[in-house]
Amino acid sequence: MALSIKQNISLKPYNTFGIEVVARLFTTIQSIDDFKALVKERAYLENEKLIIGGGSNILFTKNVDGLVIKNELKGINIVFEDGEWAHVKVAAGEVWHDFVMWSIEHGLAGLENLSLIPGCVGASPMQNIGAYGVEIKECFVELEACSLNDASLKTFSNADCRFGYRESVFKHELKNKYLITSVTYRLCKKPKLNTSYGAISAELKAMNISSPGIKDVSNAVINIRKSKLPDPEVTGNAGSFFKNPEVSAEKHGELVARFPNLVAYPLPDGRFKLAAGWLIEQCGLKGFEMNGAAVHDRQALVLVNKGHCLGKDVYDLSSYVLQKVSEKFGVTLEREVNII
């Protein structure tokens, strides 16, 4: 298919917040050859570039005066396997949840706790996505990415990506320098289930399942997520808007003295991770609405578009939440969503 660069395209269908903004230039790539052709185009060379996948971790606060490139690379292949492990190479444009379902159907464990996370596979290492006690860095092998300068292909190992909590090198030094084309995961044929985090065990019990498999754990996670989180198809949102903040043991002690019911989790280095949703809820902000943007009434970590609000309205609401949490707890929340 010939490369097509369109003008003045609405990005509302391409972001899960459902924010109406316009890209001055827009194109899709469905192969690495497409991208190699694109980097020679005048529209590419002369404009700022923004790469998107599922649009599930973006808040558009203005029109994009440049070129938006939608990554639509597809394909899932087992590139190595033995009696215990399979290495699966997944194109960056594959829908994350579809890949998780594929892995479960093929009896491959490791991603079941990450069911129903919105977005595409290419975003998974950028964010080091995680949920219910699992982060992708635990089963990540490598990724391939094209340089935005000349489309040359480079392989990044787990160590190269410098994963942290919702962090990687692609959010810092290598931000806007590479287009991720594929990610390879190491999945297990002999499942070691992780059901201790959050409400998974309770949900499995409610489902009358005493000896769960990976499909059961996935179903439990899906049930929990659906009960707490809004469907982006119905209510615009980007999932968790804020990171859970990490504080020193001393700060944790001060907070527990003032707030005995504080929700916190000990970290290996002696610090504590606080539940940002709990902090926001304690500020009385659950369900709080401002100019058509709101804190979700079932999960305070999530901000939602109640209808036709602007990206600026969501951003202003997030600033208000940051202010109130800082005033009450002396803790600074950090936005997880990319602000454009």
Between strands 272-274 and 246-247, the pairing is antiparallel
Which of 166, 225, 246, 318 is catalytic? The answer is: 166
DSSP H helices, 70-209, are 96-105, 123-127, 158-161, 200-206
- Classify 192 in phi/psi space as left (phi over 0), alpha (psi -120 to 50) or beta: beta
* Residue 240: active-site member: yes
Contacts of 163 (CB under 8 A, 6+ apart): 125, 128, 135, 137, 140
- Classify 330 in phi/psi space as left (phi over 0), alpha (psi -120 to 50) or beta: left
Which of 94, 112, 144, 336 is catalytic? The answer is: 336
DSSP-derived 3-state class of residue 126: helix
Which of 218, 240, 246, 318 is catalytic? The answer is: 240
DSSP lists the bridge partners of residue 182 as 91, 144
* Residue 46: active-site member: no
* Residue 162: active-site member: no
Catalytic residues: 166, 240, 336
